[in-house]
Structure 1
Amino acid sequence: MPAPLEEGETRSPGHHIELVDDNPSPKHEGETSPGLRNSKGWDGKLRVPPKNAVLANPEALSDPEYSDDEHIVPGEEVAADEDLLDGEPLDTDEIMCTHSRIQSINALQLKRFTKVARICLRQNLIQDIEGLSGVAGTLEDLDLYDNLISHISRAGLADLTGLTCLDLSFNKIKHIKHINHLQNLKDLFFVSNKISKIEGLEGLTKLRNLELGSNRIRELENLSPLTALEELWVAKNKVTELHGLGGLANLRLLSIQSNRIRDLSPLRDVPQLEELYISHNALESLTGLEQNTKLRVLDVSNNKVASLAGLGPLADLEELWASYNLVSDMADVERELADKKKLTTVYFEGNPLQLRSPALYRNKVRLTLPQVHQIDATFVKTS
């Protein structure tokens, strides 16, 4: 490797040119090269007048046999990826190496770490899942968030049967496969990939949390084998119907914002649901929720709901987020919510009932729902 450049020196292919400034400008404290940067930083242009440039190897211009290869100054060899972890004790239980331009897991020589339980290689340049069999006996948490992985090979995760958490979010994966043997998984993340179909999850009977947000999924399918599933996150997809949740007897949280849902009635298949986040859809009505009597948190913001009818049976409701809908009647609010003794938070901002009389709006809600402690972002004073 060529020697590092000194201040005022540059290098171009085939010639060694030393630039000398005969009249250097004075330096200010903390400034290494005054005049070499504009207001936005280095712009790639030299600030030394061309007349001051001195050619250190003029023979290069006249000798056709001159070769730069013969005049390279020996430099220090760039360390391989495994040297990134040289400072880690071999008995560490956690390896964190983020944003380090790692391209190969194999090159890290992870097998030398005999007790590692968590490996986090976020924000690197990894394309293939490999080189992990040597830590299979202890590894429980693998985080490969924000890399360049496009597929899950059969061999890549084959030996990692002890994994309880796997994060492959923000990659380029199109198909969920070769993970159904990971029967100890409890948390699985595939956020922001290119997945169009929910598949390959059979056997994951201990899975509690599945995140599939920001993909290309159109249908909730093949979920019934996930009998322990408690949380399902599928926001920012292209789902049009809530069918496919039957059999998920432990599902308590469903996050399905920014999809294309119109009908809530299929949620009768998950009557134990406690939290539903379904903002930014195509809802015009809340009817269909009557059997979801265990709901504590309901977010229906940014839809086209004109009435709160359907919320009457939800006696355990604690939070209702209904901003930016078409609710206009305070009598409707009173009819559906006044008896909800556990209700502490309501959001109605952006509805006609707020826009019509913004100065009186909060006071009207407070009088209608005296049990509430928070109206939109404002806490209600209590005596």
Structure 2
Amino acid sequence: MALLVVYSCCLFLAQAAYATAFSEGNLEWCSHQCTCLNNYRTVDCARRMLDHVPSLSNLTVNLYLDNNRIERIAPETFQTLGNLMMLNMEKNAIRTAAASYFCSLQNLQILNLGSNKLEAFLIPDNLTADCKLPSLKQLILSNNRLSALPPNLPNFTPSLKLLNVSFNTIRSVSFNGSFSMLMSLRVLDLRGNQIHQIMADDFAGLKAIPLNTLSLSECGIVHIEPEAFHEMTELASLSLSRNLIGYNTLEAIFTAIGNDSQLVQLDLSEMFLQNVTASLLGMLKRLSILDIFESSVHYVEPGLFDLLPELESLNVGHNELHELENVGALKQLRWLNAEWNHLTELDLTDLDALQSIDVSGNQLKMLPGGWLGAKENLQLLNVSHNMITSIHPEAFAGLSLQQLDLSHNWLSTLNDTGLQRLRKLNLSHNRLSVITPQLFTNVADTLEDVDLSHNNISNFQQAPFKDFISLQELNLAYNRLGRALGEGLLCDIFSSMGHLQQVDLSANEIVQISAGQWQHLHHVNTVALSYNHIKRLGDASVIELTAVARLVMDYNDLSAVDVDVLDKMDYLEEADFGNNPFACTPCVALPFLRWLNHSTVRILGKADRQRYQCYMPPEFAGQYLLDYHPTIPDADCKPHRERHRSQLDWTMIAVAVAGVVVFIILVTVLFFYTQICQKIKSLHYRWQIRYREVSGVEFTNDPKV
């Protein structure tokens, strides 16, 4: 029994010693220049200014050496790292690499040597069996100086799936028969090279393998022989963007591919294609993604869409289209981008699968009723940067949009949209002056982000923001709400926005925000009041913002920052008071300067001399505020403050006394006026009686008198 206890104790101590030996803080196993994680399986030596590869444990599986200054790899560098599976050495200064450097890495799966200065990747003809990387799946040699593909690559990496040699100086491609050994190769990236011509037999070695993705964009290609891609039966994604290939050449290429093409994704962006016709692309019947972005397209043949029944994504943005007809034939279309063309109308009624529509930057003047149909799947609609002046009440009927962008149009009024689950609404840069409650009838409880900036709104009537229980961001910048906020006319505007986190009231001609405007914003953390005319923090009632963490008040009329207000804002983390006319007088600037020295609040742009400088008095104009060091003792400022406070108190007393005196005078005048009027009435009455008596004696005709 005692032996068993001793054995258990020894085993426990051995395990503890093993764990200690492999702890992250033990420098015996981890270089002090790196960070070791997961029991030394992951070693992070990135961004350490290294000029060599440090000594590492043979337990290393993932090694990060990127963003350093390594210029060469010694043949013995990785000999002890037999368990390495991922090696990242991108963004160094390596000039030469050879297969012999990596022979010991039999388990390596990913090798990244991108963004170096490699001029060659040497693989000898007589490569031995023990100097191959049978497990390597990804080889990244992008952004180097290679002038040719690595020779004998199939012998060195027989299981390669991805080869990235983009953005080198390769002038010609010749995939000879040896590349037919790469039966696992699926992705070949040749972007950004200098391949001006592609001959029919350049891809001969690739036609026997199931290559799936081929990128030839940005290569300056002017000519491709029609048979170049013929018999590449598994090719699903082809990118030819940013080249100078003519229409006739492209037509011949796709005709040679034939109706049996497996192409699912085709990128013809940033080329010069004036027309997109059925004879150009009609044979690619399995296309799912077609990208013709910014290709100077003037005309898309309507009949083309009848030949592409499986198209799900169409990008014809930034072209010269005046019309886009027969889009309704694309029954599977889910993403449509037709931004920045010259479209005046667009019929999308039959596209029930649509999820995202972008027709911004066109010439739409109105949105008619039913132009979208009843699309339950549509989530995003962008019709910004058009000339829309009116929207039919049924324009969005039956939709379940989550994002609607109507910004940069000519809308002056907008009523109920009929939407029910909207989360983000952008109405900025319009001509709205009135926001009616009907606008938010069905979406008040779902809206999370509302942008009404850059309009002409001066007031809100009938509480349009009622029951906004989900709203988190409200942008009202560049309107005319200053007078309403100063007079307390918007006390109820935030009453139901208990979850609001960001509010922007910049450029609203605000001089003062009366007390009580912020009282319902218990969770707001960011308030922007830039480009207004606020002279003191107290004038903006910011002390009511009990949870605010970021306060932006640059470009106002602040001559000083009231630190008494800032000290009461317990959660304030960032503030911006730049570009204000600061007064550099001792008793005005001294409290704020002292506050800056001890406060943990981060002042945005504090080091920018142009943003924080003195404006007055004239002798300090242009001086950096933090360079102003008043020598006046604080005791000398106390009488100034007391005198100011005393003057303020006497002023208030004088005003109160004057009010009492005026009141007494008014009461006295009223009293005397009442008494005198009574006496005058009495005298007048007596005079009338006497007059009647006298006149009765003198003028009676009674003979008895």
Runs of 4+ in 1 over 6 A off after TM superposition: 376-379
- 2:17 counterpart residue number: none
Q: Specify which of 278, 284, 289 is matched with residue 165 of structure 1.
A: 289
Matched, 1:326 2:456: yes
CA–CA separation in structure 1 for the residues paired with 2:477 and 2:340: 27
Report if aligned partners of 2:365, 2:387 keep a CA contact under 8 Å in 1. yes
CA deviation digits over 1:285-308, x for unaligned, max 9?
A: 23132x212211111111111233
Quote the offset at 1:153 in angstroms.
2.8
Q: Which has the larger share of helix?
A: 2
Runs of at least 5 residues in structure 2 that lack an aligned partner in the other structure? 1-171, 173-194, 482-504, 531-546, 551-570, 572-705
Name the CA distance, whole Å, in 1 between partners of 2:516 and 2:477: 13
In 2 relative to 1, CA 118–357 (structure 1 residues): closer, same or farther, beyond 3 Å? same
| 1:197/1:356 CA distance change after superposition, 3 Å | closer
Instruction: Quote how far apart the aligned CAs of 1:174 are.
Output: 2.2
Pair 166,356 (structure 1): closer, same or farther in 2 beyond 3 Å: closer
- For 2:390, what is the secondary structure of its paired residue? coil
* Residue type of the alignment partner of 2:212: D
| Paired residue type of 2:431 | K
- Which of 173, 193, 196 is the matching residue for 2:319? 193
Deviation at 1:127, TM superposition (A): 3.0
Question: Per the alignment, do residues 276 and 210 of structure 1 end up closer, same or farther by CA in structure 2, a change over 3 Å counting?
Answer: same
Whole-angstrom distance in 2 between the partners of 1:377 and 1:89: 62
2:389 & 2:271 partners in 1: Cα distance?
Answer: 35
Aligned-partner residue type, residue 457 of structure 2: V
Q: Which of 178, 203, 212 matches 2:338? A: 212
In structure 2, the partner of 1:236 is 361
Q: Which runs of 5+ in 1 are unaligned?
A: 1-75
- Pick aligned residue for 1:275 from 394, 403, 418: 403
Displacement after TM superposition at 1:368 (Å): 5.1
- 1:311 alignment counterpart: 440
Q: CA, structure 1 residues 298+377, in 2 after alignment: closer, same or farther (shift >3 Å)?
A: farther
Alpha-carbon distance change, 338 to 288 in structure 1, aligned in 2, over 3 angstroms = closer
Q: Given the superposition, is the C-alpha separation of residues 367 and 218 from structure 1 closer, same or farther in structure 2, using an over 3 Å criterion?
A: farther
Alignment of 1:40-51 (within 5 A): none
What is the SS of the residue equivalent to 2:404? strand
User: Contact 2:378–2:399 at 8 Å: present in 1 too?
Assistant: no
Contact 2:211-2:234 within 8 A present in 1 as well = yes
Residue 381 (1) aligns with residue 508 (2): no
What one-letter code is carried by the residue in structure 1 that aligns with 2:329? G
Cα distance, 1:175 vs. partner? 2.4
- For the structure 1 residues 193 and 356, does the alpha-carbon distance in structure 2 shift closer, same or farther, using more than 3 Å as the test? closer
For the pair shown, which has the larger CA radius of gyration, 1 or 2?
2
Letter in 2 for 1:195: L
User: Structure 2 CA distance, aligned partners of 1:369 and 1:327?
Assistant: 21
Distance in 2 separating the partners of 1:213 and 1:89: 37
Provide the TM-score with structure 1 as the length reference: 0.69
Tell me which residue corresponds to 1:146: 270
Once the 2 structures are TM-superposed, how far is the Cα of residue 149 of structure 1 from its aligned partner? 0.7
Aligned residues: 303
Alpha-carbon distance, 1:209 to partner: 0.8
**Contact 1:345-1:376 within 8 A present in 2 as well:** no
1:50-94 per-residue CA deviation (whole Å, 9 max, x = no partner) reads: xxxxxxxxxxxxxxxxxxxxxxxxxx9x97324896599553211
SS at match of 1:324: coil
Amino acid across the alignment from 2:453: S
Using the alignment, how far apart are the partners of 1:110 and 1:368 within structure 2?
66
Letter of the aligned partner of 2:364 in structure 1?
V
Deviations 1:190-247 (A, max 9, x none): 10112111202233111001111111111122x2221211211111111011112234
Instruction: Letter of the 1:159 partner, please give it.
Output: M
Question: For 1:80, which of 182, 185, 197 is the aligned residue?
Answer: 197
Structure 1 residue 258: Cα displacement: 0.8
Question: SS of the counterpart of 1:298?
Answer: strand
Which gives a bigger RCO, structure 1 or 2 (Cα 8 Å, sep 6+)?
1
Over the aligned positions, Cα root-mean-square deviation in angstroms equals 3.4
Measured in 1, the distance between the counterparts of 2:201 and 2:467 equals 61
Where does residue 15 of structure 1 map in the other structure? none
Asked if residue 253 in structure 1 is aligned to residue 380 in structure 2, the reply is yes
Identify the match of residue 212 of structure 2 among 72, 76, 93. 93
- Cα 1:145–1:375 change in 2 (3 A) is farther
Kept in 1: contact 2:264–2:288 (CA 8 A): yes
**TM-aligned CA deviation for residue 270 of structure 1:** 4.0
CA gap of 1:200–1:356, structure 2 versus 1, over 3 A, is closer
TM-score (norm 2): 0.39
Give the SS at the match of 1:132: helix
Deviations 1:107-161 (A, max 9, x none): 5711253322111111111332421252753211101111001112322212211
- Residue from 113, 120, 126 that aligns with 2:232: 113
2-side partners of 1:231 and 1:182: how far apart? 19
